[in-house]
Amino acid sequence: MRSNPSPSSSSRFEGCTLTGALSVATEVRDAVCVIHGPAGCTHHNFSLLHATNLSNDRGDLPRLLSSHLLENDIIFGGEDALETALEQALALSPASIFVLSTCIVETIGDDVAAVCTKDRGVPVIPIPTAGFLGGVFETGVRNALSAVASLARPSSEKSISANLIGEKNLEYGVDENAAEVNRLLKRLGLPVNLRFVRGIMTRDVSRLGAAAVNILREPALRVVGEELKRRYGTPYIKSFPIGLGGTCRFLEEVGRVCGIDSLTAVEEERAYQTAMLERFDDLAGKRVCFQSPHPMLRGDPEVEAICAECADALGLIIDPDGVAIPSPYPPPVGTAGVGRMLNRWRVLIRERGR
Amino acid sequence: MKQIALYGKGGIGKSTTAANLSAALAEDGLDILQIGCDPKHDSTRMLVHGTWIPTVLDLIRERGDTNITVEDVVYRGFGGVRCVEAGGPEPGIGCAGRGIIATFQLLERLDALKGDVIVYDVLGDVVCGGFAMPMREGYAREIYLVTSGELMSIYAANNIARAIARLSRRARSRCSLGGVICNAKNIEGERELVEEFARRINSRMIAYIPRSRIVQVAELQKQTVIEYAPESEQAGVYRDLARLVYGNDMTSIPTPMEMDEIESFALEFVQV
C-alpha cells in the first residue's frame, strides 16, 4: 500500500453499497441485519457503525450477524449458510430481519430473495447490496430505504405532519440537522411523523404513509421520494433546507405543499437569521477565499452560492489572498447549520489574524 | 512428467478419447493419472468399469478438506491408471469453477500430481477462470483440442484456442497447443475441414479418429475400447494417438479465428 495515496486514487467519495444500506437498516433498532457473505464484510461494517455510534454517545452495538461464508460455501452454494444465520437471527427475537447480500454471493448466484420468502413469523426482507455491481454508498442507502418501506402498508389516512426521509446517519451533525428541520416545521405547526430511518422500531414504519409531506435529506434521494409518492400519494420536498435564503424558501415550499400559510413563519425566520448574523458582526471587512474541501470534490454551484450569500450578509471581502476557508461539505442545514459554519469561519479568520 | 489437457465441446467425445488414451499409455507401462474436471464426473468411468468413484468435491463437502488422503481421491483403474474426479456442486448452485481450483489445490497438497503422464479432461467450454485452471502455470503444458467437423464443435475449439492464446501471454505461462484431435462424426470432407481449421489457428491435426460402432459397444460394457476390444482396429487408432501424443514435442501458440472469419471458413467447406 502506498503511504501517501493521491486523492484521485483514494475512492474517498464512492463507498460500499453494503455500508450505505447498513447505515439505514441498523436504525430500525429492533431489527437484526444478516449479512450474507464472508465474515470480514460484517466485521468492517460493525466497526464503522460502532465507532460512529460511540462518537454520537451511543454505546449500543449494531445488531449484525454474518453467514460466515467460507470457500466451500462458495463452491457448493451459500444458501444453507444463510438459513443457519437466519435461525441465529430469529433466536434474538427481532421484530424484523434484513438480509444484505455481498459481492461474492451475487457472483455465484445465491438466490437470497428466494430464501427470504419462507415464512418465519417476522418480516425477512432482502436488500441487494453487492458493491461490485457498480453501486456506491448512496445506492445502498436508496435500496435500504426502499426495502424498509416495504414493511409499511398503503395508507389513506393522512395527518398534518412530515416525514424526514434518508437522514445521513453517519454524518456528525445528523441529530442537529434533524432538530433544525423540526424547529422550522414547528413554525408551520407541522410535527415530525417519522424519521425514516433513524432510531425507530419496526412497528413505527407502519406510519410511513400517514404524513402530509416527505422531506428528503438531499436531492440524490429523489428516486425514493418518487417511490413513496407512488405508494402513499405523499408529495415530497427534495432536500433539507440549505443556506439562509434556502431556509426561507423551504418554509414557503412546505407551506405550499401542505396548504399552510407560511408568511408569518418566513418573517419570523428572517428575523431569527438577522439576530444570528449579528453574533458575527466582528467579521465584517475580513478578507476570505473559499476553497474546495477536498481535491476530489468539484465545485458545487449551490455551495458556492451559499458561501457568497453568507459573505455578502456579513460584509466579508472575497480575495484570492484572503483566509482560506473550505467550502462546507455537506452544505449546512437550516439557519442553525449556517450558524455553526460561521463559527468555524471565525476560528479560521482569528487563527490567521494571530 | 508430461502433462496434457483435453478440451472441446461438450459431448464431442473428450472423455472417451481421454480414457482410451490413458489406457493405451498404461499398456505401454507408463504411470498415468487422469483427472476429470467436469461436474458430471464421468471422465474416468470407463477406466473403472462404470463405477462412480467418489469425487474430490463430494469428499470435501462431507468431511471438509483437512481429513482427506490420497487413497480417498485416487482410484486405480484399467492398466493401473490412477483416476480422479473433481466433481462439483449440485447443478444450479454454487461455483463449479472455484471447485476446480479447490480440487487442484487439494491434489497439490496431497502431492498427488505425479506420474509419467497426467491427463486433464476438462468440460466443454472454458466458462470461467476456474475451468482454465488446468492451463495455468504448473499444470497442463500441452492442450489438445478435440473436435469433429461440426461447426458448433469448431466454434468451441476456437474459443478454447482463444483462452490458450490469452494465457500464453502471461509471463510465466508454459501452456501451449499440442494439436487438434479430430473425433469424426462421419461428415463429408470432415478430415480436410479439421485439418484446415488446425492450420488456420497455427496448429496441426495430430490424429483422426474415425467413427466406429465398437466405441459404443465398449461403452455399453463400461470399458474402454483398449480393454474391451484390444485387437480391434479402433484400439489401434487409440494406440497410435497415444504414441503420437506421448512423443509430441511440437507445440504452438494458437491464433484463434475471428467470428466472421470462422463463418466464411465454414462456408468454404459446407456443401450447400
Domains of chain A are 13-149 (3.40.50.1980), 162-275 (3.40.50.1980), 278-353 (no CATH)
Q: What is the pLDDT of residue A1?
A: 40
Q: Report the chain A residue with the minimal C-alpha distance to residue B61.
A: A72
Active-site residue among B42, B58, B65, B125?
A: B125
Give CA separation, A285 vs A58, A158, A350, in Å.
42, 50, 13
Q: What is the pLDDT of residue A135?
A: 86
Q: By CB neighbour count within 10 A (0-12 exposed, 13-18 middle, 19+ buried), where does A121 fall?
A: exposed
Q: Is the pLDDT of residue B157 over 60?
A: yes
Q: What is the pLDDT of residue B124?
A: 67
Q: Is the pLDDT of residue B139 over 70?
A: yes
Residue A84 has a CB neighbour count (10 Å cut-off) of 12
Q: What is the pLDDT of residue A4?
A: 46
Kindly report, residue by residue over A283-331, the tens digit of the pLDDT: 999 999 998 877 767 778 888 999 999 999 999 999 999 999 998 888 9
Angular region, A142: left φ>0, alpha ψ -120 to 50, beta rest: alpha
User: What's the rounded mean pLDDT across residues B235-256?
Assistant: 96
Q: What is the pLDDT of residue A132?
A: 84
- Hey, are the CB atoms on B93 and A107 less than 8 Å from each other? no
* pLDDT averaged over every residue in chain A: 92
Largest CA distance in chain B: 59
How open is the CA angle B129-B132-B137, to the nearest 5 degrees?
110
The runs of H, that is alpha helices, within A156-235 are 174-187, 222-232
- Hey, are the CB atoms on B65 and A108 less than 8 Å from each other? no
Distance, CA of A46 to CA of A273 (rounded, Å): 40
A72 touches B: beta carbon within 8 Å: yes
Give how far B25 is from chain A: nearest CA, Å: 33
Q: What is the pLDDT of residue B60?
A: 94
Distance, CA of A291 to CA of B156 (rounded, Å): 58
Q: What is the pLDDT of residue A2?
A: 41
Residue A302's φ and ψ, nearest 5 degrees, are -65, -45
Distance, CA of A351 to CA of A218 (rounded, Å): 33
- Which residues make Cβ contacts (< 8 Å) with residue A142, sequence separation at least 6? A20, A166, A220, A221, A223, A224
Residues of B in contact with A74 (CB under 8 A): 94-95, 98
**ipTM score for this prediction:** 0.78
What three-state secondary structure class fits B5? strand
- Hey, are the CB atoms on B98 and A71 less than 8 Å from each other? yes
Q: What is the pLDDT of residue A204?
A: 96
Active site residue B9: yes
Amino acid at A295: P
- Which residues make Cβ contacts (< 8 Å) with residue B128, sequence separation at least 6? B97
Distance, CA of B170 to CA of B136 (rounded, Å): 10
Given a contact cutoff of 8 angstroms between Cβ atoms, the answer to whether B261 and B201 are in contact is no
Residue A98's φ and ψ, nearest 5 degrees, are -105, 135
- Hey, are the CB atoms on B96 and A75 less than 8 Å from each other? yes
Given a contact cutoff of 8 angstroms between Cβ atoms, the answer to whether A103 and A128 are in contact is no
Beta bridge partners of B81: none
Distance, CA of A321 to CA of A305 (rounded, Å): 20
User: What's the rounded mean pLDDT across residues B72-101?
Assistant: 94
Q: By CB neighbour count within 10 A (0-12 exposed, 13-18 middle, 19+ buried), where does A263 fall?
A: exposed
Kindly report, residue by residue over B185-238, the tens digit of the pLDDT: 988 889 999 999 999 999 999 999 999 999 999 999 999 999 999 999 999 999
* pLDDT averaged over every residue in chain B: 92
Tell me which of B61, B98, B109, B127 to substitute to probe the interface with A (most A C-beta atoms closer than 10 Å): B98
Q: Chain A to chain B, count of Cβ pairs less than 8 Å apart?
A: 39
Given a contact cutoff of 8 angstroms between Cβ atoms, the answer to whether A222 and A216 are in contact is yes
Distance, CA of A222 to CA of A235 (rounded, Å): 11
Q: What is the pLDDT of residue B128?
A: 81
Residues of A in contact with B93 (CB under 8 A): 76-77, 79, 109-110
DSSP letters of B182-221?
A: EE----TTHHHHHHHHHHHTT--EEEEE---HHHHHHHHT
- Which residues make Cβ contacts (< 8 Å) with residue A347, sequence separation at least 6? none
- Hey, are the CB atoms on A76 and B64 less than 8 Å from each other? no
Residues of A in contact with B61 (CB under 8 A): 72, 76
Rounded to 10 degrees, the C-alpha dihedral B255/B258/B261/B263 comes to 120
Please state which architecture CATH assigns to domain B2-269. 3-Layer(aba) Sandwich (3.40)
User: What's the rounded mean pLDDT across residues B40-61?
Assistant: 95
Q: What is the pLDDT of residue A162?
A: 97
Q: Where are the domains of chain B?
A: 2-269
What is the side-by-side order of every strand in the sheet holding B2-8?
B75-76, B82-85, B32-37, B117-122, B2-8, B142-147, B176-183, B205-209
- Which residues make Cβ contacts (< 8 Å) with residue B249, sequence separation at least 6? none
- Which residues make Cβ contacts (< 8 Å) with residue A158, sequence separation at least 6? A210, A211, A212, A234
B250 touches A: beta carbon within 8 Å: no
User: Residue A98: in which H helix or E strand, if any?
Assistant: strand A96-101
Given a contact cutoff of 8 angstroms between Cβ atoms, the answer to whether A231 and A148 are in contact is no
DSSP state of B66: S
C-alpha cell at A216: 428528503
C-alpha cell at A267: 418573517
Distance, CA of B35 to CA of B119 (rounded, Å): 6
- Hey, are the CB atoms on A109 and B89 less than 8 Å from each other? no
C-alpha cell at A311: 459573505
- Hey, are the CB atoms on A75 and B57 less than 8 Å from each other? yes
Label each residue of B122-153 as H, E or C. ECCCCCCHHHHHHHCCCCCCEEEEEECCCHHH
Distance, CA of A352 to CA of A109 (rounded, Å): 57
Chain position carrying cell 453499497 = A17
Residue A156 has a CB neighbour count (10 Å cut-off) of 8
C-alpha cell at A152: 409499511
Active site residue B40: yes
Distance, CA of A251 to CA of B102 (rounded, Å): 62
Do the bridges between strand B82-85 and strand B75-76 make them parallel or antiparallel, or are there none, so unpaired? antiparallel
CB nearest A77 (choices: B64, B65, B89)? B89
Rg of chain A, C-alpha, whole Å: 23
Residues of B in contact with A71 (CB under 8 A): 98, 102
Tell me the whole-structure pTM to 2 decimals: 0.85
> Which among A163, A177, A181 is positioned nearest to A225, based on CA atoms?
A163
Q: What is the pLDDT of residue B66?
A: 87
Give how far B39 is from chain A: nearest CA, Å: 11
Low-confidence ranges of chain A (pLDDT < 70): 1-13, 156, 296, 353-354
> What is the pLDDT confidence band of residue B272, given thresholds at 50, 70 and 90?
low
Distance, CA of A348 to CA of A280 (rounded, Å): 13
A74 touches B: beta carbon within 8 Å: yes
Chain B 106-125, residues with CB within 8 Å of chain A CB atoms: none
Chain B 39-68, residues with CB within 8 Å of chain A CB atoms: 57, 60-61, 64-65
Q: What is the pLDDT of residue B65?
A: 84
Q: What percent of chain A has pLDDT over 90?
A: 81
Beta bridge partners of B84: B35
C-alpha cell at B159: 474459443
Amino acid at B261: E
Distance, CA of A187 to CA of B261 (rounded, Å): 74
